[in-house]
């Protein structure tokens, strides 16, 4: 087969990977020189721990398996099976962690409740005060700023992959009598294949609206993040704070309801719908976030209060000052309005599929999302 993939973020790149792995030819079209959206502006976490039970967890676990296999073949991905720690303080936060460990699927996630001493044996950089820590062995990390580049280098080596940057698709043509679908780009070139997959990320207007209509069940979400200078020591796991319990479905329980009712979130964290997630990059710097903004129109600037809050939280866990912040950014991703759905996959023309809306699951679940597309389309 010949597959046309539109969009070079992580979801699009993983669809190209699946097609090439199955022996097909791929033409991969990207409207910019490189992907510049949420696929780069994230933590690079392969985040199993907070996923909802059932399909979402199954997808994340399968994706975790695929990431590890791809990482072994493409070392430049920087895949690390580092796990995660979520330190907790006080009886209410501890009760939520204990409820998580009591889940039927806790073993699949690699959950374990650690004492402070056990947590520091896993991650010695956590010198701040806390009462316990939830460990998730199945969490991992890759390097988000370079992952697509590394995957593309491997795809090009196959001899069955063509990358066409700086081309915006203006028209999509459904399958003809021979079963061939086409896209026309803004250079006037037409690209024809046996299937077209549109992985357009947070680009939900223009052509996407024309193809899918105004009732596309996907929304855009904006976030703020930052990255520091090198820490000067290893942060051997990714780290979350107990505010993450409030935002991830895996932690839903009566204990969480009690936490929410009796322990108010920090006002800044509540106003910006915040949690701490933190991952160390290969250069030693820390990627730290994040916020969530859902109401349009989004602000065009970043605001300082969330960064100040995150700095306080990180310093309290590390027991030391945060290194100098050298980058701040905002990003936008696409999320299904029904947040229980892993992704929105829709046939928009004969032989043409739109795959979008994984939300914060995109980096984690993209290999399994692409595998499912390939299976369903009979590649």
Average pLDDT over residues 199-206: 94
List the CATH number of the domain containing 71.
Answer: 3.50.50.60
Q: Find out whether 68 and 81 touch, Cβ atoms under 8 Å.
A: yes
Q: Characterize the bridge pairing of strands 352-356 and 344-349.
A: antiparallel
Q: Does residue 148 sit in the same domain as residue 187?
A: yes
Q: Does residue 250 sit in the same domain as residue 368?
A: no
Q: Distances in Å between the alpha carbon of 161 and those of 23, 37, 58, 112?
A: 11, 22, 30, 43
List the CATH number of the domain containing 264.
Answer: 3.30.9.10
Average pLDDT over residues 24-48: 95
Q: How many residues are present in the chain?
A: 379
pTM to 2 decimal places = 0.97
Q: Does residue 185 sit in the same domain as residue 225?
A: no
Q: Does residue 238 sit in the same domain as residue 372?
A: no
Residue-range definition of the domain harbouring residue 205: 1-82+141-213+342-379
pLDDT in tens, 170-184: 999 999 999 999 999
Q: Does residue 206 sit in the same domain as residue 328?
A: no
pLDDT in tens, 315-334: 999 999 999 999 999 999 99
Strand ordering across the sheet containing 169-173: 169-173, 181-185, 190-193
The alpha helices in the chain, defined as continuous H runs, are: 10-21, 55-73, 90-101, 106-109, 116-122, 144-156, 207-212, 254-262, 267-271, 304-318, 362-376
Q: Find out whether 332 and 222 touch, Cβ atoms under 8 Å.
A: yes
Q: Does residue 276 sit in the same domain as residue 196?
A: no
Q: What angle do CA 351, 352, 356 make, to 5 degrees?
A: 145
pLDDT in tens, 226-268: 999 999 999 999 999 999 999 999 999 999 999 999 999 999 9
| Distance (Å, whole) CA 376 – CA 373 | 5
**Cβ neighbour number for residue 141 with a 10 Å cutoff:** 27
Q: Does residue 180 sit in the same domain as residue 291?
A: no
Q: Does residue 170 sit in the same domain as residue 59?
A: yes
| Distance (Å, whole) CA 92 – CA 89 | 8
pLDDT in tens, 8-31: 999 999 999 999 999 999 999 999
| Distance (Å, whole) CA 168 – CA 203 | 11
Q: What does DSSP assign to residue 30?
A: -
Q: Does residue 148 sit in the same domain as residue 289?
A: no
| Distance (Å, whole) CA 333 – CA 201 | 7
Among residues 254, 289, 253, 250, the alpha carbon closest in space to that of 269 is found at 289
Q: Does residue 176 sit in the same domain as residue 322?
A: no
Q: Does residue 278 sit in the same domain as residue 377?
A: no
pLDDT of residue 152: 97
Q: Does residue 331 sit in the same domain as residue 273?
A: yes
pLDDT in tens, 280-309: 999 999 999 999 999 989 999 999 999 999
Instruction: Work out how many domains the chain is built from and give that number.
Output: 2
């Amino acid at each position: 087969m010949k597959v046309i993939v539109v969009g070079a973020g992580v979801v699009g790149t993983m669809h190209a990977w699946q097609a090439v792995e199955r022996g097909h030819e791929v033409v991969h079209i990207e409207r910019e020189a490189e992907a510049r959206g949420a696929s780069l502006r994230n933590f690079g976490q392969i985040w199993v721990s907070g996923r909802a039970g059932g399909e979402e967890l199954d997808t994340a676990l399968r994706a975790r398996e695929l990431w590890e296999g791809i990482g072994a073949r493409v070392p430049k991905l920087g895949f690390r099976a580092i796990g995660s720690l979520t330190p907790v303080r006080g009886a209410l936060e501890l009760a939520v962690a204990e409820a998580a460990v009591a889940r039927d699927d806790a073993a699949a996630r690699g959950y374990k409740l650690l004492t402070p001493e056990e947590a520091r044996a896993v991650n010695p950089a956590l010198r701040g005060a806390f009462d316990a820590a939830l460990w998730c062995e199945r969490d991992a990390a890759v390097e988000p700023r370079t992952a697509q580049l590394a995957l593309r280098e491997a795809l090009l080596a196959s001899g069955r992959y063509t990358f066409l940057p700086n081309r915006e698709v203006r028209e999509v043509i459904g399958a003809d009598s021979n079963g061939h679908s086409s896209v026309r780009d803004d250079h006037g070139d037409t690209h024809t294949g046996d299937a077209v997959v549109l992985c357009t990320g947070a680009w939900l207007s223009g052509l996407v609206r024309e193809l899918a209509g105004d009732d596309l069940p996907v929304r855009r979400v904006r976030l703020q993040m930052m990255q520091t200078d090198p820490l000067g020591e290893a942060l051997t796991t990714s780290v979350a704070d107990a505010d993450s319990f409030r935002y991830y479905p895996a932690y839903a329980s009566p204990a969480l309801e009690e936490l929410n009712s009796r322990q108010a979130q920090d006002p800044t964290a509540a106003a910006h719908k915040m949690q701490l997630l933190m991952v160390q990059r290969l250069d030693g710097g820390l990627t730290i976030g994040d916020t969530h903004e859902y109401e349009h129109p989004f602000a065009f600037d970043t605001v300082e209060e969330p960064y100040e809050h995150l700095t306080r939280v990180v310093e309290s866990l590390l027991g030391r000052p945060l290194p100098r912040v050298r980058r701040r950014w905002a990003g936008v991703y696409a999320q299904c309005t029904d947040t229980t759905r892993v992704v929105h996959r829709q046939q928009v023309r004969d032989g043409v599929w739109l795959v979008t809306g994984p939300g914060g699951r995109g980096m984690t679940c993209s290999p399994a999302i692409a595998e499912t597309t390939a299976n369903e389309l009979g590649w």
